Structure 1
């Protein structure tokens, strides 16, 4: 049985609504238990919430009566309300609030912008209106659902920023502008939607949204807009070109909606190690290129380590098995860290051994195929599954470690760089793109 609380209260069984509770307070009591599914809610808390802090003398007896009626209505559907200590609990059931929270936290925990948008969008789509729209008024809604609403808005802000970073301002306007209108004091959300409106040639609408937010902040909180919102407003007024497009990482190429580092290392294994911001010093926000499994797969295709059709199948498989894809991504990051150490410190035997294990694992699933250019290449077989891009990177690493040119690998000495490159002539002092731009390597 499924319960929906994000909007009007609904109980669903086999796709059809099930009537539960003859009275509004009975349904509200069940909703309170569902919000705390798996945990005990005391009778004192139930009476406080059901009567908004002023329960009558008969409140405890009325709660017991409501619970008896709910048990009779729910037990045929396999849902039990148990008595525990001084309260009641509903065993874990399918509730949209719990599903929303799980998706929102999963979205916040992924580094891949596209995956973040997918998970965050799925979470936001569960909202059909205010929590328990037909059962409670705003003061009680804030008490019961305040944290969920905050998580909703935080997730929306995250999706807005990710969509803007990927250049999808049209989706921000279509899907999230209404939420900014409803919550004008959420400055991050408003600033993001204003930027999307401006990029959609709707400057007047962006300025109207700012005016609404400015008035709401003054009347509700007694404050002026913060620096982020004010900066977007001023840039819109002067037509600042920085608002026109998402900021691209430096020295990057766009492939299949993913930012990948330029191929400057003269070998795929070196490019696998390199990041936008480099490996030395403090990392620049957004400098990490290996943000998600899909980026890893697209990179392998871009480096001709996998074919295009295989990558398309891998991206679909990763969508079906996100946990498996995340596990492969973690392994790829570990391989990259050990390979970087191995290349910058050839005496580190443990790093070499760690990379060797990946190379040997990849070798067991490699097949030799003829490419479109007529040349033969080693590629992971179909048996590799989601591990294919990891094995492709590992095979490339093994090739480099067996190549005498490995001994000419250098790392840019800049404190904020560390890019790897081949220096067979022994004359280069810094990487070819000079990502660090610091005096000590100029």
Structure 2
């Protein structure tokens, strides 16, 4: 049986909701036991939590009655509530909770070495929260007593995820994630600093400075203190436009288009170039600035540079993204997922899972596309303007479909340089390296990876 505690209290069995028919205090008691699986919670502690220092004379007998009702409600689903000395415990192997999964994912994220993997685990953990702890079963005081550690861990993970995304250059995503969180926790200086940094990096210096002023006034009014040294230093660096705040550094193998850094063309097909928007793909230690898709603007400019969308569309998309940063950040996340799946498809044609992931995005793109006749007289799918901010994503998904349906996909090679891994077409079967010019220089590297069948 699965219980949701991070939000409204719910129970599921085999994926289907189970109405347990429990009263509010009975749900509270069950939640207390579930938050400490396998550990006995004494009757005295249960009384203290349920009645908050004002228990009725019959409190002990009432707790025993609640436990009998709990057992009757959950034992048919295999959940066991054991009596241990003067208390009770839920046997952990008989059920699962989102709270336990949350702490497990937090531990996995702390141990993960790859920043992208770490961010993914943070995302999975934080997505488990569907509202305040026991939103419909506990009042604020009980929630604080029961969930202080979980709430602090949630905020800590939010801080760590923001810093990891800043390190990866996903500044727009940080703005979208942290704006509502900082509104709820305006004196949490680590969150404020991350949001200020992300705002500055996305060209919103004035907003970053206003955020600092609001935080300083709030700290003075509520706590009688000034911001800490780290936040004061960040404020001064923003005022001075300190170039160190622009890290991650500019990418290697770069070409400047408009105001964005884009990768050199090395693949020979837009879908390959999209995969090659990650410099140092094959490196265990990614090169500085290796994540090219740092901003939605980069995705839009890249799509225009590849002639997948019209130049005037790029301008409109960037303007729209500026007023809808959350939507733009979500599109950027989908673009990165498409890139990962497409790279896996092209380097391993037998990878059915990756193909299905790409196919899902292709089908989404086709549903909002139109079939036109091009200047060359050939028909082709073109994403509709109704796609909104998803327009460049749909354009590259259609390009991916074009390549995956082309026999040339079996001639795709991955550059074997340990600091590269970029993809290129090798129709003649003679190319050894991609066209960056630095790959293979002075190296005895292996031959390129062949993505086709042997």
Q: How would you bin the TM-score normalised by the shorter chain?
A: 0.5 to 0.7
Counterpart mapping for 1:360-375 below 5 A: 374=429
Distance 1:207 1:96 in 2: 38
Offset, 1:147: 0.8
Q: Which residue number corresponds to residue 171 of structure 1?
A: 173
SS at match of 1:130: coil
Q: Which residue number corresponds to residue 410 of structure 2?
A: none
Distance 2:131 2:180 in 1: 12
SS at match of 2:52: coil
Question: Is 1:21–1:69's contact at 8 Å kept on the other side of the alignment?
Answer: no
Offset, 1:374: 4.2
1:118-139 CA distances to partner (integer Å, 9 max, x unpaired)? 0001111111121112222333
Counterpart mapping for 1:215-294 below 5 A: 215-247=217-249, 260=280
Distance 2:200 2:286 in 1: 35
Offset, 1:185: 2.4
Question: Is 1:108–1:155's contact at 8 Å kept on the other side of the alignment?
Answer: no
Distance 1:15 1:35 in 2: 21
- Structure 1 273/239 Cα, relative in aligned 2: closer, same or farther at 3 Å? closer
Aligned pairs, number: 295
- Structure 1 314/232 Cα, relative in aligned 2: closer, same or farther at 3 Å? farther
SS at match of 1:37: coil
- Structure 1 77/307 Cα, relative in aligned 2: closer, same or farther at 3 Å? closer
State the TM-score, normalized to the length of structure 1. Answer: 0.57
Counterpart mapping for 1:270-349 below 5 A: 309-310=347-348
Offset, 1:272: 7.9
Q: Which residue number corresponds to residue 10 of structure 1?
A: 10
Offset, 1:239: 3.1
Q: Which residue number corresponds to residue 115 of structure 1?
A: 117
Q: Which residue number corresponds to residue 39 of structure 1?
A: 39
Distance 2:349 2:232 in 1: 43
SS at match of 1:3: strand
1:21-51 CA distances to partner (integer Å, 9 max, x unpaired)? 5421111001101101122111111111111
- Structure 1 274/47 Cα, relative in aligned 2: closer, same or farther at 3 Å? closer
SS at match of 2:133: coil
1:88-134 CA distances to partner (integer Å, 9 max, x unpaired)? 11122210111111111111111211001000011111111211122
SS at match of 1:55: coil
Offset, 1:175: 2.5
SS at match of 1:11: strand
Distance 2:34 2:138 in 1: 15
Offset, 1:256: 6.0
Q: Where does structure 1 lack aligned partners over 5 or more consecutive residues?
A: 262-267, 277-305, 320-370, 378-395, 400-442
Q: Which residue number corresponds to residue 188 of structure 1?
A: 190
Question: Is 2:11–2:18's contact at 8 Å kept on the other side of the alignment?
Answer: yes
Asked whether 1:155 is paired with 2:193, we answer no
- Structure 1 214/106 Cα, relative in aligned 2: closer, same or farther at 3 Å? same
SS at match of 2:128: coil
Question: Is 1:181–1:209's contact at 8 Å kept on the other side of the alignment?
Answer: no
Offset, 1:220: 4.4
State the TM-score, normalized to the length of structure 2. Answer: 0.56
Distance 1:109 1:256 in 2: 28
Offset, 1:19: 2.4
Distance 1:112 1:21 in 2: 45
Question: Is 1:47–1:63's contact at 8 Å kept on the other side of the alignment?
Answer: yes
Q: Which residue number corresponds to residue 137 of structure 2?
A: 135
Offset, 1:10: 1.4
Distance 2:134 2:91 in 1: 20
Tell me the C-alpha RMSD between the 2 structures: 3.8
Distance 2:286 2:154 in 1: 36
- Structure 1 239/19 Cα, relative in aligned 2: closer, same or farther at 3 Å? same
- Structure 1 236/313 Cα, relative in aligned 2: closer, same or farther at 3 Å? farther
Asked whether 1:61 is paired with 2:61, we answer yes
Distance 1:83 1:224 in 2: 51
Offset, 1:210: 2.4
Q: Where does structure 2 lack aligned partners over 5 or more consecutive residues?
A: 255-262, 264-274, 289-343, 358-425, 433-443, 448-454
Distance 1:232 1:160 in 2: 16
